[in-house]
Structure 1
Amino acid sequence: MQLNYGQEEFIMHPSGCLYWPSQNTVLIADVHFGKVDHFRKNGSALPSRVGLENFKKLNQILEEFQPEEILFLGDLFHSTQNKDWDRFTAWVNMQRLRMTLVIGNHDIIPSYHFEDLGIKVVPEITRGALYLTHHPEEKGGFYNICGHLHPGFRLRGEGRQQLKLSCFYKKEHQLILPAFGAFTGHFLIEPEEDEDVFVVSEDLVLSIR
């Protein structure tokens, strides 16, 4: 699904990432690496393979778009270092592209650990008329692209069928990305009339309008 802002074109992908063709850049929010291992360590009976889905999705994105850069819009890791850190380190060392992390509220791992891997760490990014953050922000004259909310939308059928899906949440001057991580949950939203929601399924992005 294509989205335009001014002269810029973006592609909303079913994975939850946003591709920026003119910059050959992928934007990803809320991966929450390590969340599955964090919960397993605290007694939750979760299969370890769930955490590997994030790496699988990332590799599929890189294969499809061949980007020169990834911008992680916060909450790359869920908490402290665990087994996923070693997996992430190995994954980063296999890549040949630029990576930047916009710090999110869950990113408590010291920045120098990311910088030692060649990942730039910043509080925010301004490029042209775009203002890239983790939390939803307002900045006059800029279009904000962010994450944090893990937006989701409840689809209702003619009977009592209900389906909750992740979504891109578009406002007049803001686009909130869905959580990229495989184990993140949803914050269900109710858009205003002038807003739009693009739900994501396995292979589609669809406007609810």
Structure 2
Amino acid sequence: MTHSIKILDQNFVLHPLGGVFWIDRSLLLISDVHLGKVNHFRKFGAAVPRKAIHKNFVLLDKIVADFEPFQICFLGDLFHSSLNKEWDLFENWVAKTPAEIILVSGNHDIISPEKYKQLHIEIFPEMVIDDFLLTHHPEQRKGHFTFCGHIHPAVKLRGFGRQRLRLPCFFKSKNQMILPAFGEFTGTHTLQPNKEDEIFAIVEDSVVKV
């Protein structure tokens, strides 16, 4: 189940896979997919099942099918490191995806821009659309609301007794929303909200405000 939210009179939908769909622009925002990480782990001996390599592409297909966006903007760390076999899978995915694809570069995006150019993917250090700033690292900029990633945010919830639950989340402050990591095997970083923050936790297949 998705969760709808309005920011600066614009309409957005938070998806339980971790993406944000900007309805008015038909723009899908996704952060921190870290493609290639599974192969990177396997290269150094980690016992990660080979079938896990395809999981991110299955999830990407699902969220694109749910929204059918005109554009997809990856907010950094699309690939985890240097080129490996997952680039071929990415090329195939791009070829069958009708949306225009944009990359706002993150600290892990070290693959040559020429490789993206061959796939007709433009790369930007950041993007400003109306009063919205799209970037990888969290940034507070006067007069703008920021969508970003990098942190892989999670929140700790307390249950009955000594129950503790840590869930990935969309972490919204007054002028910024940090998206959860989209990719598998990315890990999370627990953030402590204050009274003004809004937390939208991902609970199984739903986005729930907590």
TM over 0.5: yes
1:69-126 CA distance string (max 9 Å, x none): 1000000000011111110011111122100000000000011111110111010000
- The equivalent residue for 1:205 is 207
- The equivalent residue for 1:192 is 194
The letter for the 2-side match of 1:130 is F
- The equivalent residue for 1:48 is 50
The letter for the 1-side match of 2:72 is I
- The equivalent residue for 2:115 is 113
- The equivalent residue for 2:82 is 80
TM-score between both structures, scaled by the size of structure 1: 0.97
- The equivalent residue for 2:138 is 136
Matched pairs, number: 208
- The equivalent residue for 1:67 is 69
1:157-205 CA distance string (max 9 Å, x none): 1122222211000000000000000110000011011101110123210
- The equivalent residue for 2:11 is 9
Task: Using the aligned pairs only, state the percent identity.
Answer: 44
RMSD, matched Cα: 0.9
The letter for the 1-side match of 2:208 is L
Shift of 1:68: 0.8
Shift of 1:51: 2.5
Gaps of 5+ in 1: none
The answer to whether the 8 A contact 1:199-1:207 is kept is yes
**Which stretches of structure 1, 4 residues or longer, exceed 3 Å deviation after superposition?**
none
The letter for the 2-side match of 1:13 is H
Shift of 1:62: 1.4
TM-score between both structures, scaled by the size of structure 2: 0.97
Q: Distance in 1 between matches of 2:119 and 2:204?
A: 31
Q: Distance in 2 between matches of 1:6 and 1:104?
A: 26
The letter for the 2-side match of 1:33 is L
Gaps of 5+ in 2: none
The letter for the 1-side match of 2:91 is T
Q: Which moved more, 1:88-97 or 1:101-110?
A: 88-97
Shift of 1:34: 0.4
